[in-house]
Structure 1
Amino acid sequence: MSRIIISGASGDLGRRVTGLLLAANPDQELILTTRTPDKLADMASDTVQIRYSDYQYPEAVSDAYAGGDILFLISGLNLGRRVSEHRAAIAAAQHADVGHIVYTSVGGVQPGNPALSARDHLQTEADLRDSGIAYTFLRNHLYAEIVSNILVAPAVPSGVISQATGDGFFAPVAKEDVARCAAECLKDPSAHAGRIYEITGPELLDFHQIAAIATHVHSSPVEYKPVSEEERLAFFDAVGIPRTYDPTMPPSPDGHLWASDELVSAEVGLAQGFQALQTRHVEQITGQAPEPLAAVMERVREVRYDMIDATVA
């Protein structure tokens, strides 16, 4: 049996994928790596090992990956260090003779995409191609839960969603659909070797349509008003969100760390059509159709974003 390494295993996606793998096979051998092993102490067993790992310390990563066969490389959050952190993880996987890496990229990656995160992921995809290790890219599109609880819910009281997304289309995808795709690829990586999947929801929507869905779900009128990139940055400045990501900065009210340069560049990329993709890859990988945005909104609308986990999936 192959031993699967899950990087960043204490995060939401890592926990979901771990749960799916163990539900499918309680005897699955796993190495769960994290900067905070105490958070996963209750998951340790004869077949599940908890190991300390931090991308900033390559030796720790190399030690953590020892004995693993397949790596689920969950991308880092730090815009300033993401590429170098991923390179450290790839080097550690090479040292540990890992045979396959399933990597969480981002939707619509291609040259010319102005989204800062897309540039990072494009580079890591290139690094993985050059690594000599078999790979699968999961280009995960924007979480439907982010659309529901970060972009839509705060706008309901005012009735206006304002973003620099123009009239761009995208296909938001539920977190659990992303997790299910990852778990399937990890269970049988050879069947997905060299594949590049665009993991999307079932509908291609713009924010005018999303505002209409929000109006129905929240029983309150909501409209979408596009704004310029400069107006959007000014808004984030006004509410105290820093321009550039810093891991030491205080979390936003939703409990996460956001920086406006990455957020707004992603909105501009959406406006320019880089997210205008809708595939059937979720269904092809898992055999189950992805959850529509309206259903996600109904399911999580009363839950803080940072409290959404597998218990409400």
Structure 2
Amino acid sequence: MTLDDCRSGEPAFAELVERVATVYEVPVRALTVRTLLHLPLLASSGGRILQSDVTAELERNADRLGSDYEAIEHLVPTREHPLTDLRFEVLPDRVANQIFSRLHYLRSSRDGSRNFALVDPVHRLPVTVCSVSPLEWALVGRQLRASFGIAPGTAWDVSRVYSFEVAPKNAISFLLAKVRQVMRGVENARVLTTAVDPNLAFVGASYRAANWQRWMSVQARPYLYVDGTYASPRQLRLRYGGANLPHLRAANPGTRFEQSRVPLLDSWIYCCRLDGITENIPAEVQRRLRR
């Protein structure tokens, strides 16, 4: 198989995901994203992967995903409700942290975030959740200032989003619209941003439906892994004090620190002005930020 086949949901990959998700009783979408996060470690520099390796990785992630769902079973909604019946609420940090640290593909929450959710009208369980944090990506912040006149410190980042399997269609875009209304009341907040990673089969549809626009892209860096499990540079710095792989290998001889070899697709930066219309920037003139 090829990594492109898996990203684009080709039938061979889709059928494997469906089969494993059924056996392990986990959501197809969540399993797909987690597995796509780990397949680059197994792919050759040309993007080829053995089907047996894909199956093994699906099973590994399904087993862990099942354990994660069990750990916060008390927070998992099981009934479907129409979108108009869901209620918008500020989500307590302790609840958001449990959901993001267990179910989000990064398996972590962002400190200093404001958390919001659509909750079901009966049990008040979160159905779709998101986290909004001050933008920390300096590269993006500089481009926002240079091209769009957005002052430093006035951009907020939608850093985490998770939607349970029972969420109705358009739940994420509906939540984003509610969050925009709330963030208009935050002093000096001018724009919302987010990074969409097409390597995980994300296409930005929910953001476009909420009237966000793609303003730029950012050159991809290899994914990093610790003992075969994905770790972001932030997680490596928090856990080991740095993200330089040679240094980490020297300081931790019993731990495998690896990175993907296959070229990855650039991330897309979507933005939404909190006041006024968000400009539509033609793809051919969007800046590609290098790092």
Q: Same fold (TM over 0.5)?
A: no
Question: Normalising to structure 1: TM-score of the pair?
Answer: 0.26
Question: Normalising to structure 2: TM-score of the pair?
Answer: 0.27
